[in-house]
């Protein structure tokens, strides 16, 4: 797997508190570090899952992670999606949830992603990076109103109320109606979250 955020990691290592994507969007420094560590998180999460999850769960995880990513413009994601959360490593070896509803809206030059159902939600904007798509997401609890990603502080207390988290993710589309979003080292519970997209 290629490090699509190596340049951002170098910016962070140089002492900056934020990183800039090729389209000009600004990412919190901690989030750039997490995305740059995707291969590490991927490996650690798989190791924990393989050591403790059931054979059926592993089969589902392999299916979710299969398929080579295809280059697509952000606008190609527009529409309604079924999205299934799989939490890998951390509190449990693996936890897979029933599908939720997600939506991607393209308007005014922006592409917005939102997980619409479930107690844990995420909302944010899709951006193009040099080798793929990035979600600059904000995690929140159903019923709360999350801030925009750009309004997040550099330091976030994930235990505060209302609960707000920075949820940056790498979007990998494997076809026009299938894909996944990988969230390395999320602020809550797991080593990596996988949001499986289908429609």
Task: Average the pLDDT over 148-177 and give the result.
Answer: 93
For 22-58, what is each residue's pLDDT tens digit? 888 899 999 999 999 999 999 999 999 999 999 999 9
pLDDT at 9 over 70: no
- pLDDT of 6 over the 70 cut: no
Q: Is the pLDDT of residue 169 over 50?
A: yes
Phi, psi angles (nearest 5°) of residue 49: -65, -45
**What is the overall mean pLDDT for the chain?**
90
**Per-residue model confidence (pLDDT) at position 1:** 39
What does the pLDDT read at residue 28? Answer: 94
User: What domains are defined for the chain?
Assistant: 6-198 (2.40.128)
What is the share, in percent, of the chain residues with pLDDT greater than 90?
A: 79
Give the pLDDT band (50/70/90) at residue 130.
Answer: confident
pLDDT value at position 131?
73
Whole-number pLDDT of residue 17:
64
- Residues sharing a CB contact under 8 Å with residue 142, sequence separation 6 or more, in sequence order: 118, 119, 120, 121
Cis peptide before 162 (omega within 30 of 0): yes
As a three-state string, the secondary structure of the chain is: CCCCCHHHHHHHHCCCCEEECCCCCEEEHHHHHHHHCHHHHHHHHHHHHHHHCCHHHHHHHHHHHCCCCECCCHHHHCEEEEEEEEEECCCCCEEECCCEEEEEEEECCEEEEEECCCCEEEEEEEEEECCEEEEEEEEEECCCCCCCHHHCCCCCCCCCCCCEEEEEEEEEEEECCEEEEEEECCCCCCCEEEEEEEC
Q: Give the model's pLDDT for residue 14.
A: 47
Query: 10 or 157: which carries more pLDDT confidence?
Result: 157
pTM value?
A: 0.91
pLDDT in tens, 75-96: 999 999 999 999 999 999 999 9
Q: What is the mean pLDDT of residues 109-129?
A: 95
Return the pLDDT at 23. Answer: 84
Mean pLDDT to the nearest integer, 162-177: 95
């Amino acid at each position: 797997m290629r490090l699509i955020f190596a340049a951002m990691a170098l910016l962070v290592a140089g002492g900056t508190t934020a990183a800039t994507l090729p389209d000009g969007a600004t990412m919190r420094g901690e989030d750039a570090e997490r995305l740059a560590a995707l291969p590490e998180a991927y490996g650690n999460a798989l190791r924990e899952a393989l050591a403790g999850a059931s054979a059926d769960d592993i089969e589902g995880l392999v299916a979710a992670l299969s398929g080579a990513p295809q280059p697509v413009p952000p606008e190609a994601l527009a529409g309604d999606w079924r999205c299934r959360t799989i939490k890998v490593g951390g509190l449990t070896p693996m936890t897979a949830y029933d599908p939720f509803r997600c939506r991607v809206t393209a308007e005014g030059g922006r592409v917005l992603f939102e997980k619409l159902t479930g107690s844990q939600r995420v909302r944010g904007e899709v951006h193009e990076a040099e080798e793929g798509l990035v979600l600059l997401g904000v995690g929140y609890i159903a019923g709360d109103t999350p801030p925009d990603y750009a309004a997040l502080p550099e330091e976030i207390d994930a235990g505060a109320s209302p609960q707000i988290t920075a949820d940056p993710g790498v979007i990998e589309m494997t076809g026009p109606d299938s894909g996944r979003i990988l969230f390395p080292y999320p602020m809550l519970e797991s080593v990596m979250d996988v949001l499986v997209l289908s429609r």
